């Protein structure tokens, strides 16, 4: 290589150094306000956006003294569109909101009753948002109030909402995690209506938003999941109570684990912990009439025996318990179906099941599916198998009674 070519190469390398740093759009952490939750409400004609912004310096582990709040909730009853209000927030926040880390979107009851579809478009269009956050509905209150409550066990309240939604679904089965993708899917498909987890505030919201809520051993204000919100198309039409919500989750096959409680013949109760659950929903045609078949299969262990007279060590007793538990599951499931039929909302996706297996039958029904759903016979069959009895077999209660 001659000196000249070497010089040219060197020059090229130096120029590359400038081009290839690749930081055109870089945003440093100190230039961002990381949002952890959005809340949407409607005030008159305007959308009101509430954003929970993480106060990064308070979250860090080695903070030194100072009692500033871990999060700040900002809201603005701003523009006619949500995008407008989001940008308008920069008037009050020091930095631009960065929304990739959203965990939860709360929607106020009033907005939910008027229709949630308008707020969803921006959430799916903005490239910054991922689709892995969950939707919850503020029952009897505004989204704003839910997001204002400070939580003692989690520094970031939206993390509390997120993880308690997770654990309530995974170990109790009364809520449902629905992300943006699933929600839009439900809204678009004609044979299924959405159902979202509902949350309420217990206590006075005014106290909840101050430091007082963090100072007490027994926090006066908490957010609490309470059943589910039933939608028809994109409008809220009613609520499922926890019992019905469990039934809903049984039919949807979304139970990871839950407790089924059955009574002993002699009084007292036995709790069975479900560990596995699997549901098959099938549309069947008998004599030209459409009916649904729901088969719930579950496996569980005996978790608590609170009656002395039952002899758990007897296989016959176990069989009897299984039958009683089946009845109980069927009761929950049919309670949720009855409620959904009252509300004319096919939250179970029965319509989609018909579409999948009997599409010729589906096309004429498609348009007035709500009417057909109300009169749709549903056959529920639960089959629970008890596998273990925990670390003991017979309960010591039996011995005590015997003496």
Partner 1 sequence: MLENGQISRQQLFILVFLFSLGSAILIVPSAMALTSKQDSWISALLGVLLGMLLLVLYHSLGKSFPNQNLVQYSEIIAGKFVGRLISFLYLTFFLLLSALVLRNIGDFMTTIVMPETPIQAIFILFMVIIVMGAGLGLEVIGRAAEIFLPWILLLLFILIVFIMPQMEMNRLYPIFEASVKEMIKGSLTILGIPYLELVIFLMILPYVRQTNKRGNAFLWGGFLGGLVLSIITLLCILVLGWDFTSRHSFPSYTLAKKIQVGEFLQRIEVMMAVIWFLTIFFKLVLCFYAAGLGLAQLLRMQTYRPLLPPLALITVVLALIVYPNNVYFRSFASQTWFSYALIFGFIIPITLLAIHKLKKN
- Residues near partner 1, by CB under 8 A: 19, 24-25, 127, 130-132, 181, 184-185, 188-189, 352, 355-357, 359
What single-letter DSSP state applies at residue 45? T
Query: Is residue 223 a contact partner of residue 150, using CB atoms and an 8 Å limit?
Result: no
Contact 261/242 with Cβ under 8 angstroms?
no
**C-beta closer to partner 1: residue 46 or 166:** 166
Q: Nearer to partner 1 by C-beta: 138 or 195?
A: 195
Considering the complex, what minimum distance in angstroms separates the CB of residue 4 from partner 1?
Answer: 19
Nearer to partner 1, 124 or 338 (CB): 124
What is the closest distance, in whole angstroms, from the C-beta atom of residue 185 to partner 1 in the complex?
5
Order of strands across the sheet that contains 289-305: 258-263, 269-286, 289-305, 378-388
Tokens in use for 274? Answer: 């479900």
For 16, 87, 269, 323, 351, the CA distances from 55, given in Å and listed in that order, are: 38, 19, 48, 53, 46
Minimum CB distance to partner 1 smaller for 297 or for 357: 357
Return the number of the residue (1 or 20) whose C-beta is nearest partner 1: 20
Structure-block tokens of residue 295: 């088969």
Are the C-beta atoms of residues 170 and 276 closer than 8 Å to each other? no
Q: How far apart are CA 336 and CA 250, in angstroms?
A: 10
Q: How far is the CB of 254 from partner 1 (least distance, A)?
A: 13
Minimum Å distance from CB 131 to partner 1?
A: 7
Judged by beta carbon, residue 12 or residue 80, the one nearer partner 1 is: 12
Distance of closest approach, residue 99 Cβ to partner 1, in angstroms: 13
Query: In the complex, what is the shortest distance from the CB of residue 201 to partner 1, in angstroms, rounded to a whole number?
Result: 29
| Angstrom distances, CA of residue 250 to CA of 99, 175, 329, 397 | 34, 11, 8, 32
């Amino acid at each position: 290589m001659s000196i000249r070519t070497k010089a040219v190469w060197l020059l090229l390398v130096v120029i590359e150094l400038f081009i290839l740093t690749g930081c055109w759009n870089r945003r440093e952490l100190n230039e961002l306000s990381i949002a952890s939750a959005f809340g949407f409400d409607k005030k008159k004609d305007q959308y009101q956006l509430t954003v929970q912004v993480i106060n990064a310096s308070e979250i860090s582990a080695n903070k030194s003294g100072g009692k500033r709040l871990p999060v700040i909730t900002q809201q603005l009853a701003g523009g006619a569109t949500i995008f407008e209000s989001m940008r308008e927030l920069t008037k009050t926040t020091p930095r631009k909101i960065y929304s990739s880390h959203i965990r939860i979107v709360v929607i106020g009851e009033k907005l939910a009753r008027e229709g949630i579809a308008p707020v969803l478009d921006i959430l799916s269009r903005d490239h910054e948002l991922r689709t892995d956050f969950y939707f919850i509905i503020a029952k009897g209150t505004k989204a704003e109030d839910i997001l204002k409550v400070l939580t003692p066990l989690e520094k970031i309240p939206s993390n509390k909402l997120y993880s308690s939604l997770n654990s309530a679904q995974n170990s109790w089965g009364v809520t449902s995690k629905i992300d943006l993708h699933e929600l839009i899917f439900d809204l678009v498909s004609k044979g299924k209506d959405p159902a979202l987890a509902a949350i309420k505030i217990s206590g006075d919201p005014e106290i909840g938003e101050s430091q007082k809520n963090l100072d007490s051993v027994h926090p006066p204000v908490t957010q609490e999941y309470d059943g589910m919100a039933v939608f028809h198309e994109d409008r809220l039409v009613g609520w499922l109570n926890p019992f019905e919500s469990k039934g809903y989750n049984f039919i949807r096959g979304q139970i990871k684990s839950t407790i089924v409680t059955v009574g002993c013949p002699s009084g007292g109760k036995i709790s069975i912990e479900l560990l596995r659950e699997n549901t098959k929903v099938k549309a069947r045609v008998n004599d030209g009439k459409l009916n649904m078949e729901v088969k719930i299969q579950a496996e569980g262990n005996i978790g608590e025996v609170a009656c002395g007279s039952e002899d758990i060590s007897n296989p016959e007793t176990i069989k009897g318990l299984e039958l009683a538990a089946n009845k109980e599951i069927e009761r929950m499931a049919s309670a949720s179906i009855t409620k959904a039929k009252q509300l004319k909302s096919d939250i179970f996706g029965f319509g989609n099941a018909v579409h999948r297996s009997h599409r010729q039958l589906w096309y004429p029904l498609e348009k007035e599916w709500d009417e057909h759903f109300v009169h749709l016979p549903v056959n529920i069959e639960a089959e629970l198998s008890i596998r273990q009895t925990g670390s003991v077999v017979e309960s010591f209660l039996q011995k005590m009674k015997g003496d």
